[in-house]
C-alpha cells in the first residue's frame, strides 16, 4: 500500500473523489467539508454549513456540483467554479439522519421506509434502477426504483430541481420497492455497495464480517464471508478494476481481500485511528480512507512499470511477460514469460545487452522479503507463446549490472554483493551506509543514503564522489553517460560523470520519470507535465499531461513512454523552446536563426529572455520595436544599428545616449551627428577642435556669431587662434581694454593703435602691455582627423552576417559549413582527394592495392615510410641452461601454419606469410614467372593478414589473425580473412573506364593490369562468382591489349603511305577489342576518320554503320551519317590493308597483327591473351608476369575448384 | 597535497576505506595505456609508506618509458635509488640505445645466472621485458616463472600467446582469475586470450576493451584492442570506425613521429623481412624465353 497523501482533521465520515480533477472531498464529524487537491497536497477550500457530523458527501459525475447530507437533517448542494465553492444550496426539509452518497440524493428518504432501524448507507446501482441499503436492522436491502425513473427525474437535473423541491412528497411509497432482503449479518450493517459490473454486493457490519452477496432477477443469496477484522467493519467496497475487496474497520486497519479466494491479501494498520469510511476513485487506482484524525489517499500497489532502455530497444514488464519494443519499427513482442509466485509486481529492471540478460527486482511490503530474478532472455521466441526460462531467484533489495558478467546486489543487511552470471557471490564489498543502489556505468554504482548519493567504484571498493540530495528515487544516465539526472520526489539534480552538481530543480508536484534526448536535454515528467531541463539549469514546461506517464526515450519531437496500463505510447512535443535555449547556450546561432525564422518565436518573452540571459546581440536581431532595438544596440555596442534606430526615433534623449556611446568608441562622425541633432554647439565646437577640423570650427564660430553667443563665438575664435576675430569680439562686447591688450600683445599694431585712439584719456587708462606676455595660440592640427578611430577588427557575429544576407539562403548554408566542419581529419582527407589528380572519386580501396608508385602522394602510405635497412630479427636463443625444474614451453602451431595446411589458394598462403608456397601455387596455377608486378600485391596482402594490438605497455605487441571462417573454424580449420573482394575489383573497373574515357591510356592500362593480377588473389564462394572472376580477367585483357596498341600506334610515324596504312590497320584492329560502348564509339570514330582520310571508303562505311548502331550522341550521329553518305557515293577502298572485318580474328598482343581463325596461336595462361607462336615462352605483354604458352593447372579462386 | 586539489578528497575517502589500493589510479592508467594520466596521478598521489612510494615511482618511470621519454628515467634514477627502480632504469637503457643492448643483455644474463631476489617483482618484469624484446621467449618465461604477481602472470600470458601456446595461456589465465578476476590486468589478459581463441570469444574480448573505455577513458591501447576484435570478426567498417577514433586522438605530427619511432615494431620488422624474402624467392622464377 502506497500512501500518496494524508490530511489531519477531525474524524472523516464521508469521502468522494472528483472524477476528473485531482480533488477529494472529505466531510467531517464536526460539520466541516474540506476540498483537497491530493496531487498538490493542498486544501483548496472548505465550508462549514452543517451542524454536527456530515456523513454523506458526493461529487456530481458530470457537473461542478457536490452534495452533502448531515446529521442536522440538512442537505446542501455546493457549486464549484474554478477552485472555489461559490454557492451553497440549502434545503430545509426533514431528512433522516443518514443520507446516501448519490447525486440525486433527495429521493432516498422514501426508500428508508422499509427498514426497521436507521439506514446507515444507501447507494445507487451504477447502471440499473436499483438501490442498495444497509441498516442497523442487520439487513441489506435492494430496492427497485424504476418507478421513480418514470417520473423523469434524471440524475443530471439536480441543480435546476433542487430549489424547487420542498418536500419528500414527490415520491410516493410505490416509487421504491424492496426487491431483495439480504439477511446474514448478526449485527447492524454499516455499509453495502454494488459491484461496478457484476451482480454482486459487498457489505460490512458490526459483526466484524464482510459479506459478499450475489443476486439475480428473482433472488439474492450470500456467497461468502471474509473474517479477519476484530472490530466493527465500517465500510467495504469492491475494487473498481481488480478482483479485490477493500474494507476498513474500527480495529484501525484497512484490509484487502482476494474476491475469488476470499482471503486477506494485505493489511494496513494505523496506530491510533479507527477507520470510518472508504472511497474509490472512479477511474484511477486511488482510494481514500477516513479515520479519527484525518484522511489518507493511497494506492494498493505501485503502478510504475519496470522498464529498461538499451539502444533502440525498450524492455518492460507487463502481465508477467517481459516484452521488447523496437522504437524504430514499433514492433512490440513478448520475449519471455516470467516465473510466477510473487504477489508483488516487478519493481525495477536492469538489462545487460552483452549477455542479453535481465535482473528483475521485486519489492515486498516487508523490504527484507524482497527478491530479484536473473533471467537469460531466450534468443528466439514466439511472441504468442513465449518461453518461460528458468530464472535464478535470490533475496535482495536491488540488483544492478556492474559489468558484462557481474552484477551487484544490495542485500537485506544493506551490504553489497558482487555476483556472476551463475548467481554466485564473487565478492562482498564493504560500502558506506546505503539504502539503495543504482546503475552508474561499468564497474560503478550510485549508492543512496539518507541525505546523498555516492559514486562508488566496485572494483577499487572506494567512493569517488558524493553529492547531497535527499531520497533519490530514480537515476537516469545520458546515452554517453556523461550526465546523470537524479530524481527525487520533488527535486531533480543534474550532475556530470564526476557527480558534480550542475543544476538543481525543485518541483511542487511529484517527479515521475525522465530521459535524455539526443541533444543532451533532459526531458522529464511530473504527475501532470512534460518538462525539460538543460544542464545549465534552465527548465520549463513543454506540455501538460492528463495522467502520469513514464518516459522511456526522447527522439526529436517524440516522447516515447509507458502509461499506467503499461501501454507503450508516443507523445508529440514541441521541442522548439528548449532547442532554442540549448542552441543559445551552445552558441549555435545558425540554429537559433533557423528557429526564429521558421518557428515564429519572436515575441517579447524571447527578447526578454535573450536580454536576461546575456544575449543582447542575439536579441537585437529579432527586435522590431525601434526603442527596444535602440537600447539593445547600445547594450551590445552596435553603433550602426543604434544610429539607424535613433534616426527612426529621432528623440533628443536617444541622440544624447548614442552620442555618449559613440564617443566611447571614438566613432566621432556619429558623435558629430548626435551633437548636431541635439544642437549641442559647445560640445560640437570642442569636437571639431580635438579632431582638427578647422573649416567646421570656423563654421561653428560663424554660427555662434549669428546666434549671438558671445562666449561661444569667443571660444571658437580662441580655438582657431584667430586673434583679430577675438579682438573684434572683445571690442564689440565692450571689453575695450581686453581687446586692446589682445591686439597689442599679438602684435596687431594697426588695430591696437585704432583701439588706443578710442580710449578717452580723460576717463580711461590704456592698460599696460605686459612685455613678458606669452601668446596663447592653439597648435595647428598636423593632420585633421576625418576618419573614425580605428577599431580592432571584430569578426562579424553570426547574426550580423546572417541577417544581412537575409534571403540568400545558399550563402548562409555555405557559411554554416565552414563553421561546423570539424576536426583535422576531415581536412586531411579532403586534401588527399584533391591531390589525386582530379579524376577520382577515389574509393580508398584502390590505394590499398599499391598503385602508389605512379600516383605518389596519398595513394599508399606505406611507401612513404622510411623503412630501415634489413633488420636482424633475433631468433629465440632457446634454453641452453636448463635448471631442471622449469621447462619453458615450445612454440605452438600458429594460425598461419594452419592456413597453409588448410588451403591451396595462393592468397591464403600470402596472408600466412608463406611466400614460397604462394609463389609456387601462382606459378603452377596461372604460370606466373615474373613476380615483380606481384610484389606490392604480396606485401599489401601480407599486411592485411594480421592485426597487432598492445598487450602490456612497452612490450612488443601481440598478433591477431583475422579469419574468414572465424565463427565455426575451431582451433584447426582456420582460413585467413581476405580483404579483397570480387565486388571491390569490379567497382575499381569504373575508375579504369573513366581513365580510358579521359584518354589517359597508360594510367588505365596500369590499373587494369593491377585488377587482372589481383584476380588470382581472390577467394569466392560460388560458381557464378568464379565465372565473374574469369570475366573480369577478360575485360581487363581486352582493354589492356587495345589500349596498349593504341598507345603504340600514337608513337608510330605517319610520314609514308606504308606507315599510314599500318596506323589504319591498328586503328581497325582496335575496333575488334571488346570495349564498353562509350569507348567503342570513340574507337570507331578514330578508325572511321583515319580510313576516310585514306580514302578506304568501303571499310570506313562499315565503321560508320557500326558506330551508328551504338547510338552515339546526336551531333556525333549526324556527323557520322554525313561521312557515311560521302562514303556510300564511292564504296571502294583505295588501299589494300591487312584487315578483313568479316573474317574473325584474334589479335596478337605483342605484334598487333590479326591471327585469323585456324592459324596456330599461343595464349597467356592467366589473361588468355593471344600471341603468334614465336612468342611462346616469353612474358605476357598483358600481365607482365606470366609466361606465354605455359602449361598450367588453371585459375583457382575458390575451394569449390578443388572438390 | 593541498586540500583544495581535485582528487585529494578522493584520496582521503580511499584512505578511510581500508583495503583500498591507494595506487589504483596510477596502475590502472598505466595498464590501459593512459600514460600521461598515469604520470599525472603518480605526481598527485601521496603514498602512505616508503614501499608505496617506490611502487609509485616504478609506475611513474615505466609510464615515461612507454612514452619513450627515456632521458627522464635515466636522469632521475640515481645509483643510490632502490633496486626496483634500478631495474626500471636498466629497461630504459635497453630501449633507449640500440648499440648498448648486447652489453645490457649480457649483463642481465650474468645477473640471472646468480640467484635472483624473486621478491623484486619489478626486476623480474623488467628482465623478462628485455628478453621478450630480444625474442628470447624461453628466458622471458623462465624469469617470469619466479614471480607470482598478476603482472608476471599477464606477461607470461603475452609471451605464451606470441608462441601460439593458447592452451598454456589459458591455464595461466585461470590462475590469474583465481587470484583476482576483476583486476584490470586479469581482464586485459582475458581479452588477449579470447582474441587468440577466436570464435564467440571475440565478442567477449571486445566487450572487455569497450567496458574499460567506457569506464576509464578510451586510450589507444583499448581502441586498438577493440579494432583487433572487430577485424577478427571481419567487421571491417566497425574496425575502421574505432581506428579512426584512435587516429583522431593522435595528431598527424605525432603520427609521423610514431612511424619513425616504431621502426622496431614487430609488424614492420616482419614486413621488411618478408619483402626481402620476396625478392629472393622471385629470383627463382624466370620466363623460358626472353624477347
Give A-chain residues touching B197 at CB under 8 angstroms. Answer: 971
Task: Name which of A403, A418, A950 is nearest B224 (Cβ-Cβ).
Answer: A950
Task: Quote the pLDDT of residue B169.
Answer: 94
Is A895 close to B141, i.e. CB distance below 8 A?
A: no
C-alpha A775/C-alpha A723 separation (Å) is 10
Residue A484 phi/psi, 5-degree rounding, is: -135, 140
Task: Quote the pLDDT of residue B156.
Answer: 95
The answer to whether position B115 is within a domain reads no
Give the pLDDT band of residue A792 (cuts 50, 70, 90). low
Mean pLDDT comparison of A261-265, A853-857, A1103-1107, highest-scoring range: A1103-1107
Task: Quote the pLDDT of residue A762.
Answer: 76
Indicate whether A1159 pLDDT > 80.
yes
The three cell numbers locating residue A1055: 610520314
The answer to whether position B278 is within a domain reads yes
Task: Quote the pLDDT of residue A68.
Answer: 78
Per the structure, the complete domain to which residue B216 belongs is given by 201-282
Give A-chain residues touching B63 at CB under 8 angstroms. Answer: 953
Q: What is the pLDDT of residues A675-700, one digit of tens each?
A: 888 888 888 888 888 888 888 888 88
| Nearest residue of chain B to residue A458 (CA atoms) | B182
Indicate whether A747 pLDDT > 50.
yes
SS (H, E, C) A661-672: HHHHHCCHHHHH
CB-based contacts of A200: which residues, under 8 Å, 6+ apart?
Answer: A194, A212, A213, A214, A215, A223, A238
Name the residue ranges covered by the structural domains of chain A. 304-468, 478-574, 985-1201
Average confidence (pLDDT) over A1149-1168: 89
Indicate whether A112 pLDDT > 80.
no
Task: Quote the pLDDT of residue A601.
Answer: 60
Give A-chain residues touching B212 at CB under 8 angstroms. Answer: 442
CA A607 to chain centre: 27
Give B-chain residues touching A463 at CB under 8 angstroms. Answer: 10, 13-14, 17
Give the pLDDT band of residue A82 (cuts 50, 70, 90). low
Give the pLDDT band of residue B127 (cuts 50, 70, 90). very high
- In this prediction, what percent of chain A has a pLDDT beyond 70? 85
SS (H, E, C) A459-470: CCCEEEEEEECC
Query: Shortest CA distance to A946 belongs to which of B269, B207, B245, B232?
Result: B232
Burial class of B138 by CB neighbour count within 10 A (0 to 12, 13 to 18, 19+): buried
Bridge partners (DSSP) of residue A425 are: A419
Query: Shortest CA distance to B242 belongs to which of B267, B224, B260, B269?
Result: B224
Mean pLDDT comparison of A642-646, A1077-1081, B154-158, highest-scoring range: B154-158
C-alpha B114/C-alpha A528 separation (Å) is 79
Is residue A701 within 8 Å of residue A711, measured between CB atoms? no
| Nearest residue of chain A to residue B280 (CA atoms) | A916
Q: SS3 for A717? A: helix
Indicate whether A160 pLDDT > 50.
no
The answer to whether position B240 is within a domain reads yes
Strand ranges, E, within A404-459:
406-410, 416-420, 425-429, 436-439, 444-449, 452-457
Q: What is the pLDDT of residues B260-270, one digit of tens each?
A: 566 667 777 77
Farthest-apart Cα atoms in chain B, separation: 86
Residue A376 phi/psi, 5-degree rounding, is: -100, 125
Task: Name which of B20, B158, B163 is nearest A462 (Cβ-Cβ).
Answer: B20
Give A-chain residues touching B132 at CB under 8 angstroms. Answer: 955-956
Indicate whether A794 pLDDT > 60.
no
Q: Is the dihedral of CA B125, B131, B132, B138 positive or negative?
A: negative
Nearest chain A CA: its distance from B152 CA (Å): 11
| Nearest residue of chain B to residue A890 (CA atoms) | B163
| Nearest residue of chain B to residue A895 (CA atoms) | B164
Find where cell 521485486 sits.
A362
Is B285 close to A960, i.e. CB distance below 8 A?
A: no
Task: Quote the pLDDT of residue A101.
Answer: 35
Indicate whether A1047 pLDDT > 50.
yes
The answer to whether position B257 is within a domain reads yes
Task: Quote the pLDDT of residue A633.
Answer: 82
Indicate whether A95 pLDDT > 80.
no
Indicate whether B256 pLDDT > 80.
no
Find where cell 443530471 sits.
A156
Where does residue A18 fall: left (phi above 0), alpha (psi -120 to 50 degrees), or beta otherwise? beta
Average confidence (pLDDT) over A656-660: 88
- DSSP summary character for residue A913: T
Give the helix/strand (H/E) hosting A1125. Answer: helix A1114-1128
Q: What is the pLDDT of residues B99-113, one digit of tens each?
A: 889 999 999 999 888
Mean pLDDT comparison of A181-185, A364-368, A602-606, B285-289, highest-scoring range: A181-185
- DSSP summary character for residue A81: E
- pTM, entire model: 0.59
Give B-chain residues touching A877 at CB under 8 angstroms. Answer: 134, 136, 138-139
Indicate whether A484 pLDDT > 90.
yes
Give B-chain residues touching A956 at CB under 8 angstroms. Answer: 132-133, 162, 265-266
C-alpha A456/C-alpha A462 separation (Å) is 6
Is residue A275 within 8 Å of residue A249, measured between CB atoms? yes
Is residue A453 within 8 Å of residue A447, measured between CB atoms? yes
Q: What is the mean pLDDT of chain A?
A: 80
C-alpha A359/C-alpha A371 separation (Å) is 10
Q: Considering only A865-874, A1109-1118, B117-126, B254-263, which range has the smallest mean pLDDT? A: A865-874
| Nearest residue of chain B to residue A942 (CA atoms) | B271
Task: Name which of A430, A868, A956 is nearest B266 (Cβ-Cβ).
Answer: A956
Where does residue B41 fall: left (phi above 0), alpha (psi -120 to 50 degrees), or beta otherwise? alpha
Task: Quote the pLDDT of residue B171.
Answer: 93
Question: What DSSP line would sit under A726-778, residue for residue?
Answer: HHHHHHHTT-HHHHHHHHHHTT-HHHHHHHHHHS-TTT--PPPPPTT-----P
Give B-chain residues touching A464 at CB under 8 angstroms. Answer: 10, 13
Average confidence (pLDDT) over A995-1002: 88
Burial class of A904 by CB neighbour count within 10 A (0 to 12, 13 to 18, 19+): middle
The answer to whether position B230 is within a domain reads yes
Is residue A953 within 8 Å of residue B188, measured between CB atoms? no
The answer to whether position B31 is within a domain reads no
| Nearest residue of chain A to residue B203 (CA atoms) | A354
CB-based contacts of A3: which residues, under 8 Å, 6+ apart?
Answer: A296, A297, A298
Q: Cβ–Cβ contacts within 10 Å for residue A545, how many?
A: 17
Bridge partners (DSSP) of residue A468 are: A452
Average confidence (pLDDT) over A81-108: 46
Give A-chain residues touching B236 at CB under 8 angstroms. Answer: 979
The three cell numbers locating residue A865: 615510410
Residue A785 phi/psi, 5-degree rounding, is: -90, 100
Q: Go through B39-66 and write b for each residue having 16 or more CB atoms within 10 A of its CB, e for each that does not.
A: bbbbebbebeeeeeebbbbbbbbbbbbb
Is B24 close to A460, i.e. CB distance below 8 A?
A: yes
Give the helix/strand (H/E) hosting A529. Answer: strand A529-533
Give A-chain residues touching B229 at CB under 8 angstroms. Answer: 960
More confident residue, A151 or A337: A337
Task: Name which of B13, B228, B275 is nearest A947 (Cβ-Cβ).
Answer: B228
CA distances from A401 to A586, A798, A939 (A): 34, 46, 46
Find where cell 598454456 sits.
B168
Is residue A238 within 8 Å of residue A195, measured between CB atoms? yes
Q: Considering only A288-297, A356-365, A880-889, which range has the smallest mean pLDDT? A: A880-889
Q: What is the pLDDT of residues A40-59, one digit of tens each?
A: 888 888 888 788 888 888 88
| Nearest residue of chain B to residue A1187 (CA atoms) | B287
Q: Cβ–Cβ contacts within 10 Å for residue A786, how many?
A: 10
- In this prediction, what percent of chain B has a pLDDT beyond 70? 88
Nearest chain B CA: its distance from A1072 CA (Å): 26
C-alpha B278/C-alpha B171 separation (Å) is 38
Give the helix/strand (H/E) hosting A817. Answer: helix A809-820
- Number of domains forming the structure of chain B: 1
Residue A1174 phi/psi, 5-degree rounding, is: -60, -20
Indicate whether A832 pLDDT > 60.
no
Query: Shortest CA distance to B52 belongs to which of B61, B62, B42?
Result: B42
Task: Quote the pLDDT of residue A557.
Answer: 86
Q: Considering only A587-601, A629-643, B67-81, which range has the smallest mean pLDDT? A: A587-601
The answer to whether position B220 is within a domain reads yes
C-alpha A726/C-alpha A675 separation (Å) is 25
Is A948 close to B267, i.e. CB distance below 8 A?
A: yes
C-alpha A14/C-alpha A69 separation (Å) is 10
More confident residue, B165 or A852: B165
**What is the distance in angstroms between the CA of the first residue and the CA of the last residue of chain A?**
73
Task: Quote the pLDDT of residue A390.
Answer: 84
More confident residue, A761 or A705: A705
The three cell numbers locating residue A1028: 565473374
C-alpha B45/C-alpha B75 separation (Å) is 22
Query: Shortest CA distance to A37 belongs to which of A528, A472, A488, A470?
Result: A528
CA A19 to chain centre: 38
Give the pLDDT band of residue A840 (cuts 50, 70, 90). very low
Tell me how many residue pairs between chain A and chain B have CB atoms under 8 A apart.
Answer: 281
Residue B56 phi/psi, 5-degree rounding, is: -60, -50
Task: Name which of B10, B163, B289 is nearest A1176 (Cβ-Cβ).
Answer: B289
More confident residue, B47 or A824: B47
Q: Considering only A768-777, B40-49, B66-75, B160-169, which range has the smallest mean pLDDT? A: A768-777
Task: Quote the pLDDT of residue A813.
Answer: 31
| Nearest residue of chain B to residue A891 (CA atoms) | B163
Task: Quote the pLDDT of residue A366.
Answer: 79
More confident residue, A717 or B4: A717
Indicate whether A1036 pLDDT > 90.
yes
Residue B197 phi/psi, 5-degree rounding, is: -70, -40
CATH of domain A304-468: 2.130.10.10
Is residue A291 within 8 Å of residue A269, measured between CB atoms? no
Indicate whether B132 pLDDT > 90.
yes
| Mutate which: A425, A497, A831, A888, vs B, most B CBs within 10 A | A888
C-alpha B257/C-alpha A729 separation (Å) is 83
Amino acid at each position: 500500500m502506497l500512501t500518496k497523501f494524508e490530511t489531519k482533521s477531525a474524524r472523516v465520515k464521508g469521502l468522494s473523489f472528483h472524477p476528473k480533477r485531482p480533488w477529494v472531498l472529505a466531510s467531517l464529524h464536526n460539520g466541516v467539508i474540506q476540498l483537497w487537491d491530493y496531487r498538490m497536497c493542498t486544501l483548496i477550500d472548505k465550508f462549514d454549513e452543517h451542524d454536527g457530523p456530515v456523513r454523506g458527501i458526493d461529487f456530481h459525475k458530470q457537473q461542478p456540483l457536490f452534495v452533502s447530507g448531515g446529521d442536522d437533517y440538512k442537505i446542501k448542494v455546493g457549486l464549484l467554479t474554478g477552485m472555489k465553492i461559490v454557492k451553497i444550496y440549502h434545503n430545509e426539509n426533514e431528512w433522516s439522519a443518514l443520507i446516501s452518497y448519490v447525486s440525486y440524493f433527495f429521493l432516498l428518504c422514501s426508500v428508508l421506509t422499509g427498514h426497521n432501524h436507521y439506514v446507515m448507507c444507501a447507494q445507487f446501482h451504477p447502471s440499473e434502477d436499483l438501490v442498495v441499503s444497509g441498516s442497523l436492522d442487520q439487513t441489506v436491502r435492494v430496492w427497485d426504483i424504476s418507478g421513480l425513473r418514470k417520473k423523469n427525474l434524471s440524475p443530471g437535473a439536480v441543480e435546476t430541481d433542487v430549489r424547487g423541491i420542498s418536500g419528500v412528497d414527490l415520491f410516493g411509497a410505490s416509487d421504491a420497492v424492496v426487491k431483495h432482503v439480504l439477511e446474514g449479518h448478526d449485527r447492524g450493517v454499516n455499509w453495502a455497495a454494488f459491484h461496478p459490473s457484476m451482480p454482486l454486493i459487498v457489505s460490512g457490519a458490526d459483526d466484524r464480517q464482510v459479506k459478499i452477496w450475489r443476486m439475480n432477477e428473482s433472488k439474492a443469496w450470500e456467497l461468502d464471508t471474509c473474517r479477519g477484522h476484530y472490530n466493527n467493519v465500517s465500510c467495504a467496497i469492491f475494487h473498481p478494476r481488480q478482483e479485490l475487496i477493500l474494507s476498513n474497520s474500527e480495529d484501525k486497519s484497512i484490509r484487502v481481500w482476494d474476491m475469488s479466494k476470499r482471503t486477506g491479501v494485505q493489511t494496513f494498520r494505523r496506530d491510533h485511528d479507527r477507520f470510518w469510511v472508504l472511497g474509490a476513485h472512479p477511474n484511477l487506482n486511488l482510494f481514500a480512507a477516513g479515520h479519527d484524525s484525518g484522511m489518507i489517499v493511497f494506492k494498493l500497489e505501485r503502478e510504475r512499470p519496470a522498464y529498461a532502455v538499451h539502444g533502440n530497444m525498450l524492455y518492460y514488464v507487463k502481465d508477467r511477460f517481459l516484452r521488447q519494443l523496437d522504437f524504430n519499427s514499433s514492433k512490440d513482442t513478448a520475449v519471455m514469460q516470467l516465473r510466477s509466485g510473487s504477489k508483488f509486481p516487478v519493481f525495477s529492471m536492469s538489462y545487460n545487452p552483452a549477455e542479453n540478460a535481465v535482473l528483475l527486482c521485486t519489492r515486498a511490503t516487508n523490504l527484507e522479503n524482497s527478491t530479484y530474478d536473473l533471467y537469460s532472455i531466450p534468443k528466439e521466441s514466439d511472441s504468442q507463446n513465449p518461453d518461460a526460462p528458468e530464472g535464478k531467484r535470490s533475496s535482495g533489495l536491488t540488483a544492478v549490472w556492474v559489468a558484462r558478467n557481474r552484477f551487484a546486489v544490495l542485500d537485506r543487511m544493506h551490504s553489497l554483493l558482487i555476483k556472476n552470471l551463475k548467481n554466485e557471490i564473487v565478492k562482498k564489498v564493504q560500502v558506506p551506509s546505503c539504502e539503495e543502489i543504482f546503475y552508474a556505468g561499468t564497474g560503478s554504482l550510485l549508492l543512496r543514503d539518507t541525505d546523498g548519493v555516492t559514486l562508488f567504484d566496485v572494483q577499487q571498493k572506494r567512493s569517488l564522489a558524493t553529492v547531497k540530495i535527499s531520497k533519490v528515487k530514480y537515476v537516469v544516465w545520458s546515452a554517453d553517460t556523461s550526465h546523470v539526472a537524479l530524481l527525487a520526489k520533488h527535486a531533480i539534480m543534474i550532475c556530470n560523470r564526476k557527480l558534480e552538481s550542475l543544476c538543481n530543480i525543485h518541483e511542487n508536484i511529484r517527479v515521475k520519470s525522465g530521459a535524455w534526448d539526443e541533444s543532451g536535454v533532459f526531458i522529464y515528467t511530473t504527475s501532470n507535465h512534460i518538462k525539460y531541463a538543460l544542464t545549465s539549469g534552465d527548465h520549463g514546461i513543454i506540455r501538460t499531461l492528463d495522467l502520469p506517464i513514464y518516459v522511456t526515450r526522447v527522439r526529436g519531437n517524440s516522447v516515447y513512454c509507458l502509461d499506467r496500463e503499461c501501454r507503450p505510447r508516443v507523445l508529440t512535443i514541441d521541442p522548439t523552446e528548449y532547442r532554442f535555449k540549448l542552441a543559445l547556450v551552445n552558441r549555435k546561432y545558425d540554429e537559433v536563426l533557423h528557429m526564429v525564422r521558421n518557428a515564429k518565436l519572436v515575441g517579447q518573452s524571447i527578447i526578454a529572455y535573450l536580454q536576461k540571459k546575456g544575449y543582447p546581440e542575439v536579441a537585437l536581431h529579432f527586435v522590431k520595436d525601434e526603442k527596444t532595438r535602440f537600447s539593445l544596440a547600445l547594450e551590445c555596442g552596435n553603433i550602426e544599428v543604434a544610429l539607424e534606430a535613433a534616426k527612426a526615433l529621432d528623440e533628443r534623449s536617444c541622440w544624447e545616449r548614442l552620442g555618449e556611446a559613440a564617443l566611447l568608441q571614438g566613432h566621432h562622425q556619429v558623435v558629430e551627428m548626435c551633437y548636431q541633432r541635439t544642437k549641442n554647439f559647445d560640445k560640437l565646437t570642442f569636437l571639431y577642435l580635438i579632431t582638427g577640423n578647422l573649416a567646421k570650427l570656423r563654421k561653428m564660430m560663424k554660427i555662434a556669431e549669428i546666434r549671438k553667443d558671445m562666449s561661444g563665438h569667443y571660444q571658437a575664435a580662441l580655438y582657431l587662434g584667430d586673434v583679430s576675430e577675438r579682438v573684434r569680439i572683445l571690442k564689440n562686447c565692450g571689453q575695450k581694454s581686453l581687446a586692446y591688450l589682445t591686439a597689442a600683445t599679438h602684435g596687431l599694431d594697426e588695430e591696437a593703435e585704432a583701439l588706443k585712439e578710442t580710449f578717452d584719456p580723460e576717463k580711461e587708462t590704456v592698460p599696460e602691455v605686459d612685455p613678458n606676455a606669452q601668446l596663447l595660440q592653439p597648435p595647428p592640427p598636423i593632420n585633421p582627423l576625418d576618419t573614425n578611430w580605428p577599431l580592432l577588427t571584430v569578426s562579424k557575429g553570426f547574426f550580423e552576417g546572417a541577417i544581412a544576407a537575409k534571403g540568400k539562403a545558399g550563402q548562409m548554408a555555405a557559411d554554416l559549413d565552414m563553421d561546423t566542419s570539424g576536426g583535422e581529419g576531415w581536412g586531411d582527407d579532403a586534401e588527399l582527394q584533391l591531390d589525386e589528380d582530379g579524376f577520382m572519386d577515389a574509393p580508398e580501396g584502390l590505394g590499398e592495392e599499391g598503385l602508389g608508385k605512379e600516383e605518389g602522394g596519398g595513394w599508399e602510405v606505406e611507401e612513404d615510410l622510411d623503412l630501415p635497412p634489413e633488420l636482424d630479427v633475433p631468433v629465440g636463443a632457446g634454453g641452453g641452461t636448463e635448471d631442471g625444474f622449469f621447462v619453458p614451453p615450445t612454440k605452438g602451431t600458429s594460425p598461419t601454419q594452419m592456413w597453409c595446411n588448410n588451403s591451396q589458394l595462393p592468397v591464403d598462403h600470402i596472408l600466412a606469410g608463406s611466400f614460397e608456397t604462394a609463389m609456387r601455387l601462382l606459378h603452377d596455377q596461372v604460370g606466373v614467372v615474373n613476380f615483380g608486378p606481384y610484389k606490392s600485391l604480396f606485401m599489401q596482402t601480407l599486411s592485411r593478414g594480421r592485426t597487432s594490438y598492445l598487450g602490456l605497455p612497452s612490450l612488443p605487441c601481440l598478433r591477431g589473425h583475422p579469419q574468414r571462417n572465424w565463427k565455426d573454424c575451431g582451433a584447426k580449420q582456420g582460413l585467413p580473412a581476405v580483404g579483397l573482394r570480387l565486388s571491390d575489383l569490379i567497382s575499381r573497373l569504373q575508375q579504369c573506364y573513366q581513365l580510358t574515357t579521359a584518354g589517359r591510356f597508360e594510367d588505365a592500362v596500369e590499373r587494369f593490369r593491377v585488377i587482372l593480377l589481383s584476380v588470382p588473389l581472390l577467394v569466392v564462394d560460388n560458381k557464378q562468382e568464379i565465372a565473374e572472376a574469369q570475366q573480369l580477367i577478360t575485360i581487363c585483357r581486352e582493354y589492356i591489349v587495345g589500349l596498349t596498341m593504341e598507345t603504340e600506334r600514337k608513337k608510330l610515324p605517319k610520314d609514308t603511305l606504308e606507315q599510314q596504312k599500318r596506323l589504319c590497320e591498328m586503328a581497325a584492329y582496335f575496333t575488334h577489342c571488346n570495349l564498353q560502348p562509350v569507348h567503342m564509339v570513340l574507337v570507331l570514330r578514330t578508325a572511321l576518320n583515319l580510313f576516310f582520310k585514306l580514302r578506304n571508303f568501303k571499310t570506313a562505311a562499315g565503321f560508320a554503320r557500326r558506330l551508328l548502331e551504338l547510338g552515339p550522341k546526336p551531333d556525333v550521329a549526324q556527323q557520322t551519317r554525313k561521312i557515311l553518305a560521302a562514303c556510300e557515293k564511292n564504296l571502294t577502298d583505295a588501299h589494300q590493308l591487312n584487315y578483313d572485318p568479316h573474317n574473325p580474328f584474334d589479335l596478337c598482343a605483342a605484334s598487333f597483327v590479326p591471327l585469323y581463325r585456324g592459324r596456330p596461336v599461343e595464349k597467356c595462361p592467366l589473361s588468355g591473351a593471344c600471341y603468334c607462336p614465336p612468342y611462346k615462352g616469353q612474358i605476357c605483354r598483358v600481365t607482365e608476369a606470366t609466361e606465354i604458352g605455359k602449361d598450367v593447372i588453371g585459375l583457382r579462386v575458390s575451394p569449390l575448384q578443388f572438390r | 597535497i593541498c586540500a583544495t586539489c581535485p582528487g585529494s578528497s578522493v584520496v582521503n575517502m580511499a584512505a578511510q576505506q581500508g583495503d583500498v589500493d591507494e595506487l589504483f589510479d596510477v596502475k590502472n592508467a598505466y595498464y590501459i595505456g593512459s600514460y600521461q594520466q598515469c604520470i599525472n596521478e603518480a605526481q598527485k598521489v601521496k603514498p602512505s609508506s616508503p614501499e608505496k612510494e617506490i611502487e609509485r615511482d616504478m609506475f611513474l618511470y615505466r609510464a615515461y618509458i612507454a612514452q619513450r621519454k627515456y632521458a627522464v628515467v635515466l636522469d632521475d634514477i640515481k645509483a643510490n635509488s632502490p633496486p626496483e627502480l634500478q631495474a626500471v632504469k636498466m629497461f630504459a637503457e635497453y630501449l633507449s640505445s640500440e648499440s648498448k643492448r648486447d652489453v645490457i643483455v649480457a649483463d642481465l644474463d650474468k645477473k640471472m645466472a646468480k640467484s635472483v631476489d624473486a621478491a623484486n617483482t619489478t626486476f623480474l618484469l623488467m628482465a623478462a621485458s628485455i628478453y621478450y624484446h630480444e625474442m628470447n621467449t624461453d628466458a622471458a618465461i623462465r624469469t617470469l616463472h619466479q614471480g607470482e604477481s598478476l603482472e608476471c602472470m599477464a606477461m607470461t600470458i603475452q609471451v605464451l600467446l606470441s608462441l601460439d601456446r593458447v592452451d598454456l595461456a589459458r591455464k595461466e589465465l585461470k590462475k590469474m582469475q583465481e587470484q583476482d578476476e576483476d583486476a584490470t590486468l586479469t581482464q586485459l589478459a582475458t581479452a588477449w586470450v579470447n582474441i587468440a581463441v577466436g570464435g564467440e570469444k571475440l565478442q567477449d574480448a571486445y566487450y572487455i576493451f569497450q567496458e574499460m573505455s567506457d569506464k576509464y577513458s578510451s586510450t589507444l591501447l583499448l581502441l586498438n584492442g577493440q579494432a583487433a576484435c572487430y577485424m577478427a570478426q571481419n567487421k571491417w567498417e566497425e574496425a575502421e570506425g574505432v581506428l579512426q577514433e584512435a587516429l583522431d586522438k593522435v595528431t598527424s605530427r605525432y603520427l609521423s613521429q610514431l612511424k619513425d619511432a616504431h621502426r622496431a615494431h614487430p609488424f614492420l620488422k616482419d614486413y621488411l623481412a618478408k619483402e626481402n624474402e620476396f625478392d629472393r624467392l622471385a629470383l627463382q622464377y624466370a620466363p623460358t624465353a626472353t624477347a
